[in-house]
Amino acid sequence: MQTEIAKTDIEVTTNETVRRAVGLLQSGDVVALPTETVYGLGADALDPAAVEKIFAAKGRPHFDPLIVHVPHKNSLYEITDVPEEIAKTVVQLVETFWPGALTLVLPRKPIIPDIVTGGLPTVAVRHCNHPIFHRIAKNFGRPIAAPSANMFGMLSPTSAQAVVDQMDGRIPLIVDGGACAEGLESTIIKIEPGEKKPIIHVLRPGPVTELDLKKFGKVVFAERNADVEDSTPEAPGMLANHYAPRTPLRVLERPTDFSPEPGKKYALLSYRGQSKDGYIDLHDWAEVSILSPGSGRVAEAGIRFFHVMRQLDQLGVDEIISEPFPDRAAGKAIRDKLSKAAMK
Ligand code: TXA
Ligand code: MG
């Protein structure tokens, strides 16, 4: 299959690209689309044959459910049955964070095919905040199922080129909407009625943080998160790692734990790039990539994470060594990705 890469840089190109993407979605095809978090691989969520093509293109096992992207906030109610006890909280969250990087797991209506949810009684829903995605979704007018546009288990793409690297020849169209502003996958939550206030279970940490969510309920981080891509016992062989570069990766909790093997080349993924953290001067690194130079803002580190990991992966070093990231805000998501990427 020939993969076309469609630009969205000037209005006429954008219009033509939007038409082309909508046409493919209407004919039951898969299209790579930009979102504000990471690029997604989209197809008509209500058409099981179209959704099947997503699984085939990604090499993704069917037990791993997809996120459904709704064209309007209110379309949420066409595909889910929101329980009365949490209805108010759902409205508040949607009004605050949509369009945006928050995904809600809610009981699904029968209109959502089994293949989307892996047979689960719930569906994950998001209303995305990317102007191009938004136009395509609105013109298409139906919910779009879209996982991240990477091959199963590999680094999530935050640019059109990163999608090309993994998906070339596997899908008909990649819509180039520029670099992703958030750079990390959406925060996934499930809401439970609590005694005093609702309980918000964070199934996957992401750009919407604990601080953002705690105004709406008690925030609890799930022991094992929603990424069944790595945690479902049915297919352990396939689940060895996730978010993974091809190069082996290790998180070095303490600088003193490092004992380099002679002749091997190591690259450092640094948080702030500061000597006082004890990593920069530890070794004659083949490369040092700093996620948040100087400022040490975890949000900035999150935005650059997948992009920088992809660059490090292309160096051909023997191992990528990562500094530990703070266990707060977007740092939680980075830690989550790193621990999975490092799993072997
Ligand atoms: O930012 C994002 O969320 C991106 C963009 C493209 O929207 N999408 C994304 O999709 O990250 P994906 O498929 O790579 O990750 C979705 C995760 C899966 O790991 C899956 O386990 C979880 O969402 N999920 C989907 N439906 C679920 C459900 N009903 N209950 C619990 N987890 C669910
Ligand atoms: Mg993914």
Cα–Cα distance between 97 and 212 in angstroms, integer?
9
pLDDT tens digit sequence for 203-260: 999 999 999 999 999 999 986 555 554 444 333 334 446 788 999 999 999 999 999 9
Ligand having the closest approach to the CA of 67: 1
Helix (H) or strand (E) holding 126, with range, is strand 122-126
pLDDT tens digit sequence for 170-182: 999 999 999 999 9
Whole-number pLDDT of residue 241: 64
Please spell the DSSP secondary structure of 303-329, one letter per residue: HHHHHHHHHHHTS--SEEEE----SST
Ligand having the closest approach to the CA of 114: 1
Percent of the chain with pLDDT over 90: 89
Task: Give residue ranges with CB within 6 A of ligand 1.
Answer: 35, 37-38, 40, 64-67, 103, 105, 117, 120, 122-124, 126, 146-148, 185-186, 188, 203, 226-229
Q: For the purposes of burial, counting CB atoms within 10 Å of the CB of 284, is it exposed (0-12), middle (13-18) or buried (19 or more)?
A: exposed
pLDDT tens digit sequence for 263-296: 999 999 999 999 999 999 999 999 999 999 977 7
Percent of the chain with pLDDT over 70: 94
pLDDT tens digit sequence for 10-59: 989 999 999 999 999 999 999 999 999 999 999 999 999 999 999 999 99
Tell me the Cα Rg of the chain.
Answer: 20
Cα–Cα distance between 295 and 270 in angstroms, integer?
12
Cα–Cα distance between 152 and 112 in angstroms, integer?
23
**Residue 197 binned pLDDT confidence (cut-offs 50, 70, 90):** very high
Whole-number pLDDT of residue 231: 44
Query: Which residues fall inside 5 Å of ion ligand 2, going by CB?
Result: 148
pTM of the model: 0.94
